[in-house]
Structure formats: C-alpha cells, structure tokens
Chain A
C-alpha cells in the first residue's frame, strides 16, 4: 500500500510540474497473464511490484502450484508434497486478479482470450506462459493411460504423478530395478533427470541398498555430466548405470503390461519401477494460436519475448526457444521480468529496456552435496540471437570439494525459498 501511495505521489507531482498530461485518459493498461507457473507467477508478481498502475489478471486453472524443482527431493524422501505446493493467495493480496479457469483460445487480432468457462477477457498485452506438452505416442506405447502405470512425473499438475512414482519406489522390493527413459534435447529442466537419478539412489541406498538404477538416455551427454558422475561414483558406487544414445540408450517402445523399456536396437530392459520422461513440445495453446514453428516450440524476439508470429503476445517459460538458455525455472523468472518491462514500455510507446538474463540451476546429488550451473545471457548486437557472456557462468569446479558441495546444497535451499517467494509473495 505504501508503495502504491508513493508511486501515485510521484505521478501526481510529475503531472503538476510538467505540462498537464492526460495520464488517465488512456485508462489503466490491462496485462493478462496465462499460466501460473514459474513464468506466469513471476510475471504477475513483478508487474504488481514494478507497475502499480497496471491491471494484472492471471488465468490459471489450478488453485495451487506444485513446483517441478524439489520434486526430485520428494522422490528421495527429503521433502513432503506440502513443502513444494504454493497457493496464489500472495499474488491475490498483491492485487493480481486471479481467474481459475483454462484459456481455451487466443484471438491475437482482437486481443481477447476465451476461457473454457465461457468468459472472454480483453487485454492490451498478453504474457503467455503455457508450459510444455508431453508428446504422447513419440515413444510407441507411451500414452496418457501408460503414465498411470509408468509415471512421467515431469508435469507435476496437482502432484499426483510425482506422488505415484514415490509410492512405487516405496513398494519396490530391495534388489529391484528402477528404469528411466530420458529424452533428447530440448526438454524442460536439462539437469532434472540426473538429479532425479541421484535422489532415487539416495533413497535406495538408505532403504533398498541391493537395488539398481538403469538410466536409458537418448543423448550422448548431459548437463553437469562430469559433476553428476563424480558424485554417483562417490556416493552410490555401482548402483547407477547410465546408458547413452550411442550405446543403445534411446527408448523407442514401452510395454506397460510387461514393464519393459525397449531401445532402438531392440534391447528389452525389464524393470520393477519405470519413470518415462517423454519428448516434449510447447503446450497445446501455443500451437493452436499458431505461435510454434516446426520444432514444436515458440520462436520469440530476443529482447521483448514477443512471439515472432504474433504482436502483443509475449511467450515466456519453457514453451519458447530462447537460444542457448535452458528451460529452467530461473530462466522463466528472469525472462518474465524482461517480458513484462518490455510489454509495458511498448504499450506506452517507449523503448524496451536493455536485456540481461540470468540463470542459476542447482542439483542435489546426495545429502549435503549440491552442484550448480550458472549462465548470464544477452541478446547480440542486432537482436537476432541470445549469447552467453564469455568468461562468465559455468559449472561448479570438479574434484573432492566437500565444503563447496555442502555450501551449494544450502544455497540450493536458499534459491528455492527465494524464488518461490519472488513468484508467490
């Protein structure tokens, strides 16, 4: 409230000191945000904090948000679902209008969004943060029904998929085999599958130490690979077998009844618990609006995050293809702010701000054992691409560094606490 009053005082002072400006003639800018995850919640919160004179509406079907980050710690037995579930009450208290409904269609020309419940919302600028869709059928035999037996646990929704995988791990006998199918790039959270392997191993080591994990990967390398593999050897011995794509690691077929993951060259891996992370694309709404290209993701302006295919629609979060930036929660958060600042500037006929994007992504490998990757990114001079700032960022140092690992595990918790507060507080 104090901030709003102060802001008004500034506006009033400005209006009186300079020539009279028809500040109110245009009416308040209507910023509509679709999707209440890392991108959308960050956008709505930032917009209210930075532009108290802008009306912010957030459309999100769910009443609470379960984070992808720290879902792996739930699998490891280190977190409960309530600790990774966040309500929208903080955003409501900040002055965001919450509409708990599903966006059914966007009319970019008319600047309206049709909701499944029948309502139509008009906007001046749209921040679209729709997330990902799982490409059902990209792996033969893996459809929505299969996910009830072999969970993906990659779109948390209400948490059911993550909880299902946890229950299966708990029910598995000691000596069982956990199989993972990991997709090719790009996908949500590049280090996520490997943190997941680590946290499942963390659980098994304590409770079912004769068990094994086989990770079948479509890729030949992965994010923070050396650090992860160092940690696996040090903490879990030979419990984890990672099979890269060039050693027949690519899963192409699923046999749900037999609990078999079948690879490109016909090797059938029988497992007790299967976690299938299928290939992904931008969520259906982005495709239906005509925003995606052949890759299945949304190309965007590197500075404003406006979709290349539609003016006035800024696409943030995992649905876009932001050059070398990973599909991470932090990137969704940082680009949300740039997109909102750009949307407001463009609505006011001003130049969008210079852009600098930031990512820190932590992974837990074991107890008191965290690793990270940092990236700072900027659009290039002509705005055609985003590039990483040379000589910056990078991964944690390798080697036997227990204090570094311990500190980064603590920083990871600080990151989770801070970023969720910045989204929902």
Chain B
C-alpha cells in the first residue's frame, strides 16, 4: 500500500507541476515571440499580452495573419515564417501561462 500511495502522491505532484514544466521547456519557436511580447508573453506597452488566451483562438489569429486576412503591421510577415505545427506548439505554450 505504501509504495502505491507514495507513487500516487508523486504523480499528483508531477501533474500539478506540469504547467511549470511546460513553461520550462517552451518550444524554441515560442522564444521568438518573447523578444517583443515580453517575458512569458505577458505583454509590454505597445505589444499586447499573448499569454493565457485560448489555444484555438491563438492558432486562428496566427493563421489569419499568415493568410493576410487579419490587418497587421508586422505579424503577417512573421506568421508566414512558421509551420502550422510550430504555430500549434506556440499557441499551446502561451495558452498554459496564466
């Protein structure tokens, strides 16, 4: 019983810590965003926050920038450089940061 209980508590601990682990192992594609949108994508004056937003919404925004369907000054030029898989990974990453 005891090893199982221990294992269970460790699993719970590991799961509770997962968002942090995800942050620590951010996809490198997401690191490119931080140079303008600030640490953890929390935004600075002039560059909006991209953290904590719905994953699907973030993907939709990036795909719209990529297709020139969303007005933007530079994000279209940026979004067209990333693959759909990278956009999904980046969106997943920032959606987890609250």
Contacts of B24 in A (CB 8 A): 3, 6-7, 49-52
- Which parts of A209-261 form the interface with B (CB within 8 Å)? none
Report if A341 contacts B (CB, 8 A).
yes
Report if B28 contacts A (CB, 8 A).
yes
- Which parts of B35-82 form the interface with A (CB within 8 Å)? 35-39, 44-47, 73-74, 77-78, 80-82
Indicate the member of A52, A330, A408, A418 with the most B CB atoms within 10 Å.
Answer: A418
Q: Let me know if A418 and B38 touch, CB within 8 A.
A: yes
Contacts of A392 in B (CB 8 A): 77-78, 80-82
Q: Let me know if A13 and B78 touch, CB within 8 A.
A: no
Partner of B81, one of A355, A389, A396: A389
Q: Let me know if B38 and A9 touch, CB within 8 A.
A: no
Number of A-B residue pairs having CB atoms within 8 Å of each other in the complex: 134
Contacts of B34 in A (CB 8 A): 418, 422
Report if A394 contacts B (CB, 8 A).
yes
Q: Let me know if B17 and A408 touch, CB within 8 A.
A: no
Shortest CB–CB separation between residue B83 and chain A, in angstroms? Answer: 9
Partner of A333, one of B35, B37, B44, B46: B35
Cα A6 to Cα B14 in complex, Å, equals 8
Contacts of B82 in A (CB 8 A): 356, 376, 392
**Closest residue of chain B to A336, judged by CB?**
B31
Cα A338 to Cα B26 in complex, Å, equals 12
Q: A365-401 toward B: CB 8 Å interface, digit per residue (1/0)?
A: 0000000101110000000000001011110100000
Shortest CB–CB separation between residue B80 and chain A, in angstroms? Answer: 4
Shortest CB–CB separation between residue B58 and chain A, in angstroms? Answer: 17
Contacts of A374 in B (CB 8 A): 74, 77-78, 81
Q: Let me know if A337 and B74 touch, CB within 8 A.
A: no
Q: Let me know if B28 and A394 touch, CB within 8 A.
A: no
What residues of chain B have their CB less than 8 Å away from a CB belonging to chain A?
A: 6-7, 10-11, 13-14, 17, 20-21, 23-26, 28-29, 31-32, 34-39, 44-47, 73-74, 77-78, 80-82, 86
What residues of chain A have their CB less than 8 Å away from a CB belonging to chain B?
A: 2-3, 6-7, 9-10, 12-14, 16-17, 46, 49-52, 330, 333-334, 337-338, 341, 353-356, 358, 360, 372, 374-376, 389, 391-394, 396, 404, 407-408, 410-411, 413-415, 417-419, 421-422, 425
Q: Let me know if B77 and A394 touch, CB within 8 A.
A: yes
Q: Let me know if B77 and A404 touch, CB within 8 A.
A: no
Partner of A10, one of B21, B29, B81: B21
Partner of A16, one of B10, B28, B80, B86: B10
Q: Let me know if A372 and B74 touch, CB within 8 A.
A: yes
Q: What are some 5 contacts across the A-B interface (CB < 8 A)?
A: A6-B20, A14-B14, A17-B10, A337-B31, A414-B37
Q: Let me know if B35 and A334 touch, CB within 8 A.
A: yes
Partner of A422, one of B11, B21, B39, B45: B39
**Closest residue of chain B to A333, judged by CB?**
B35
Contacts of B21 in A (CB 8 A): 6-7, 10
**Closest residue of chain B to A341, judged by CB?**
B28
Contacts of A17 in B (CB 8 A): 7, 10-11
**Closest residue of chain A to B66, judged by CB?**
A392
Given A392-B78, A411-B36, 6 other A-B contacts at CB below 8 A? Answer: A3-B20, A9-B13, A13-B11, A411-B46, A414-B44, A425-B39
Q: Let me know if B32 and A334 touch, CB within 8 A.
A: yes
Q: Let me know if A356 and B86 touch, CB within 8 A.
A: yes
Partner of A418, one of B11, B47, B80: B47
Shortest CB–CB separation between residue B45 and chain A, in angstroms? Answer: 6
